[in-house]
Amino acid sequence: MQKRWAISIGSFGGTVVRIHLTFLLLLAWIGLSALTAGGPRAALFSIAFITALFACVVLHEFGHVLAARRYGIPTPDITLYPIGGMARIKSNFEDPRQELVIASAGPAVSLGLAIVLMIAAGGIADPARLAMPSGLRDFAGLLALANLSLFLFNLLPAFPMDGGRIFRAGLSLLLDRDRATRAASWTGRLLGLAIGAYGVAIFHPILMLIGGFVFLAASAEASSVDLRKALSGYRIGDVMVDDVHMLTTVDPLSTAIEALIRGEQDRFPVVDPRGAPVSTISRSDIMLATQQIGLDAPIAQILDRNAVSLRTEASAQDALAALETGADPVFVVDAQGKTIGIVTMNNLAEFRMVRAAIDRPSPRPTIFGRRDHAVHKG
């Protein structure tokens, strides 16, 4: 089934481009605001400008995609959100040079577009012209300014911007990857706090939102490093979930509905009749398919994702890498290729918490429930 809240607008060179539905809401809000402030012409100009800007964002993301393909790295899709685009690249960039090239490619495209548009417009337009445009030169000038801003903003040394990845890649040439990620994450957190604080000082909600987003994204990168460290030395068989309800491709949708009712799972691994991994279906997938094709249809009719599987003896860090590059979940198979469990990001996080609790030093013994205190006698 298709990604929730995102619609596909086409596939280019094997990379699917999707638009999140919230982006359409953004267009509607911008159009309505411009209509109220400046009339139909201003509304049309604003909608056309935002559409053209996001076309430039798509080109920016394809800069990353084409650079990744140079190294043979899969790039399954690009999704457009109101805050920008996101290209999914299936790599953990163990080679910092690859990350440096791929992360730099997007901003390079934005800078190139800005230069071309500046030449076409004869310079950069005044941002105030957006409220009272006079023609194509203003349009091109404003689009040049937007691409230049996109270029500069993406060079900020903070995740998830390209600058954060460029910064980490540069540090990784001198330090190990985990230390480089921690350093880049702390830089991102401090930058996020600074942007948010400035937004509060001038009461600018967008800056507050961006600051919070940057802080959380940088924290997520640091959390990923901590999780990878916690999984060091463990196999997938040590961390997998084996008490999970699985469905088969030949089961009717009515079986999936019954599993939803009787259990607590909202996502089910699907295997073929021999137990080999096939795909995963969610609660929303099941409910939508039930309405469209009926309870008697086999589950195989609604599957459109390929499963990622690993053997039990593989490293737990390999499972984390697969999850971070889009697998959800990772199927765990035995020597015969039969599914015996799954690994999800949630159960890896729970494993880390349990290990942290086990490894935490015990408190000193106490008498009558109170800690002993040393008594100093002079």
The Cα–Cα gap between 172 and 26 comes to 38
Residue 329: asked if its preceding bond is cis (omega within 30°), the reply is yes
Task: Name the residue among 223, 296, 315 with its Cα closest to residue 254.
Answer: 296
Predicted confidence at residue 378, as pLDDT, reads 41
Closest CA to 75 of 50, 95, 58: 58
Choice among 61, 258, 264, 313 that is catalytic: 61
CA distance 248 to 268: 10
Per-residue model confidence as pLDDT tens digits over 192-228? 899 899 989 998 887 888 888 888 888 888 888 888 8
The reply, when asked if residue 64 is annotated as ligand binding, is: yes
| 245 secondary structure, DSSP code | -
pLDDT of residue 243: 86
**Is 95 annotated to bind ligand?**
no
Q: Which residues contact 220 (CB under 8 A, 6 or more apart)?
A: 159
Instruction: Give the three-state DSSP class for 111.
Output: helix
Give 252's strand partners.
Answer: 298
Average pLDDT per block of 10 residues along the chain, 378 residues long = 64 82 76 75 80 89 91 84 76 82 93 92 67 70 89 86 89 85 88 91 85 86 82 87 88 88 84 88 83 82 79 87 79 89 86 78 54 42
pLDDT single digits (tens) 95-130: 889 999 999 999 999 999 999 999 988 877 666 555
221 tagged catalytic = no
Q: What is the pLDDT of residue 148?
A: 92
State the pLDDT at residue 345: 85
pTM of the model: 0.70
Q: Give dist(CA 262, CA 54) in Å, integer.
A: 44
- Phi, psi dihedrals of residue 223, rounded to the nearest 5°: -65, -35
| H runs (alpha helix) in the chain | 21-38, 40-70, 96-121, 136-154, 162-172, 177-201, 205-230, 236-239, 253-262, 283-293, 316-324, 345-359
